Structure 1
Amino acid sequence: MQRRNEVAPRNTADIHTLEAVALAATCRAAVASYAWVGRHAQKAADAAATTAMREALADAPGRGTVVIGEGEKDDAPMLFNGEVVGDGRGPDFDIAVDPLEGTSFCAKDLPGSLATIAFGEAGTLWSPGPGFYMDKIVVPSPAKDVIDLDDSPERTLSKVARSLGKKVSELRVVIMDKPRHKDLIARVVAAGAAVQTPAGGDVGGSLAVLLPALDVDLLLGVGGTPEGVMTAAAVRALGGGMLGRLVPQREEEAAAIRAAGMSVERVYERDELVAGDAFFVATGVSGGALVGRPRKGGGGTVVESLLISRGQVRHVTHTIFG
């Protein structure tokens, strides 16, 4: 794990300024990628979102470093790990980013694609280096102290249910519908819990766990590390619980992790993934339960966003002109 710089708490003015920058970045990315909704062109949609987000971040006040991005993992357009954005005239800050989370949802015009970003104080967002995938557990606050990645799925369900004052049969669990999760899904269903199996989008699944109105109790399974760090920013801001551990999906990834001196055994807690003040922003692209898709109105394009920061969830509507 990388050493983190000791930094003074950022003042309120800095936070509000950077929140506005993050909202502008995701809003611009959402509008740009919305033009590709339903066109079955994932890379084109990703490129449009990334270009728009980079342009919005270029004028950010300060110096932002992309600690973890999607470029390496998906052989996608930039933003890449280590990229620096901003005008340099302001605070240093870390960025975790996926300009278009749920590219397949966007391409197929299915609900769930989002433009996403997280900002943290300089030196606070964990960098997984060459690790692209991680095993994750995300739970709401009452269950944050009972989770253990070494527990069996059945034991995890039992402990989480007890913490939430529920029966296992009352739990609703999100697990992405991937071949690697076939056994996990079968075991969770056999234990009696209900399972939602989206084709992708574990950021959206994690947010559903954190937002009581969406009636989800737990997220399990392997997803991307960029999504994991962004999720951790939201989890920390809302007091939820999260654990993560690198799980390479190819031998080249495993070899790169070993070469970097990193461990696939170590479990990272929420406050190691995000070790300081951070916030998360998501803007809707193809719509869904979290936020709606862009729509025409007020002489421009109306977009819906979620801003999760310091214990609060704000639903923000913006009109983008031009």
Structure 2
Amino acid sequence: MQYQSEVAPRTSTDIHTLEAVALTATRRAAVASYAWVGRNDQKGADAAATAAMREALADAPGRGKVVIGEGEKDDAPMLFNGEIVGTGNGPDFDIAVDPLEGTSFCAKDLPGSLATIAFAESGTFWSPGPGFYMDKIVVGPQAKDVIDLDDPAEETLAKVAKALGKQVSELRVMIMDKPRHKELIARVVRAGAAVQTPAGGDVGGSLAVLLPALDIDLLIGVGGTPEGVMTAAAVRALGGGMLGRLAPQRTEEADNIRAAGMSLDRIYTCDELVSGDAFFVASGVNGGPLVGRPRKYKDTTITESLLISRGEIRHITHTTFE
């Protein structure tokens, strides 16, 4: 795994060109939504990020299909499932997207909101259909062969600890602070592990597992399916482990999943969620442990982004002169 700091992405091949498009899309979304930081308007921030990202994606070479977008479960502005973007002059590719991940963080000016997107070869991203929520486990490469969503939390902790050469008491676990996780958090704490419980930020929490410097050993719990697919793109690119299973939070959602002929019991591996080459990009909106917020100095805007692709994590600082 390599870490690089660059002013701009390389664009000598198709993949680098698409990386450049993705970086432009998240940067513009981050800058647009940053204007809404601390204004207590989640939909306003989401709409600004979505409009900026859609405009950037219109210039993408080729034909991009939004396989999984964010917004339907929250009645929020969105890039919708099945939407086609790009010039049409180039390769077909899949898109998984959340223009503003952590909308509540942005609205309340709490660190951790991100503009996020993932690209993959056409036909690569799994589509959850009417499933909005997913139970998941995310671990780094050392523990990828020991996880099982059917295991109780205590057994998962023991297996991951052994794979990492640690005691359970040395583990640090990421679980979102949601009412649905109250019992799960209590069980993990009773087992002896330390728990970090952000109010949201599903993708950011998963990335913390993949970046060694952030010292998180695993993520467990129920989060969004768009976030799950984007997370899988990053996990696959870095050789980590991930399992997911649809976890509807309402009866209507469960009924719609069954009506679509999908199973509520099937466990999907990372390679099933993302079956081919893919990369993930995030740009910081209001700062946090992953990437910093946009910064403006007179006619200059500086953004920070994270690009995860083909075994590399690249931290990219980009300067735009107006």
Q: TM-score, normalised by structure 2?
A: 0.95
1:319 offset after TM fit, Å?
1.9
1:12 offset after TM fit, Å?
7.1
2:176 alignment counterpart:
176
Distance, in Å, in 2 between the alignment partners of 1:321 and 1:280 is: 25
1:155 alignment counterpart:
155
Distance, in Å, in 1 between the alignment partners of 2:23 and 2:286 is: 17
1:110 offset after TM fit, Å?
0.4
1:178 offset after TM fit, Å?
0.2
2:26 alignment counterpart:
26
CA contact (8 A) 1:283 1:306 kept: yes
Distance, in Å, in 2 between the alignment partners of 1:293 and 1:73 is: 27
1:244 alignment counterpart:
244
3-state secondary structure, aligned to 1:190:
helix
Distance, in Å, in 1 between the alignment partners of 2:153 and 2:94 is: 34
Runs of at least 5 residues in structure 1 that lack an aligned partner in the other structure: 1-10
1:203 alignment counterpart:
203
Code of the aligned partner of 1:36: W
Q: Which runs of 4+ in 1 moved over 3 A?
A: none
1:136 alignment counterpart:
136
Code of the aligned partner of 2:57: L
Structure 2 counterparts to residues 257-276 of structure 1, below 5 A: 257-276=257-276
Q: 1:161 to 1:312 in 2, by over 3 A?
A: same
Provide the aligned C-alpha RMSD in A: 1.1
Q: Number of paired residues?
A: 312
Code of the aligned partner of 1:41: D
Distance, in Å, in 2 between the alignment partners of 1:12 and 1:318 is: 18
Distance, in Å, in 2 between the alignment partners of 1:321 and 1:15 is: 26
1:218 alignment counterpart:
218
Distance, in Å, in 2 between the alignment partners of 1:179 and 1:296 is: 38
1:112 offset after TM fit, Å?
0.3
CA contact (8 A) 1:298 1:319 kept: no
1:71 offset after TM fit, Å?
2.5
Distance, in Å, in 2 between the alignment partners of 1:58 and 1:250 is: 35
1:251 offset after TM fit, Å?
1.0
Q: TM-score, normalised by structure 1?
A: 0.95
Distance, in Å, in 2 between the alignment partners of 1:177 and 1:223 is: 11
1:321 offset after TM fit, Å?
4.3
Distance, in Å, in 1 between the alignment partners of 2:167 and 2:112 is: 29
Distance, in Å, in 2 between the alignment partners of 1:179 and 1:80 is: 28
Distance, in Å, in 1 between the alignment partners of 2:298 and 2:151 is: 52
Code of the aligned partner of 2:254: A
2:190 alignment counterpart:
190
2:5 alignment counterpart:
none
Give a deviation string over 1:145-187, Cα, whole Å, max 9, x none: 0000000000000000000000000000000000000000000
Runs of at least 5 residues in structure 2 that lack an aligned partner in the other structure: 1-10
1:298 offset after TM fit, Å?
7.3
- Say whether residues 1:256 and 2:260 are aligned partners: no
Distance, in Å, in 1 between the alignment partners of 2:198 and 2:314 is: 25
3-state secondary structure, aligned to 2:13:
helix
Give a deviation string over 1:4-33, Cα, whole Å, max 9, x none: xxxxxxx97110000000000000000000
Distance, in Å, in 2 between the alignment partners of 1:129 and 1:12 is: 35
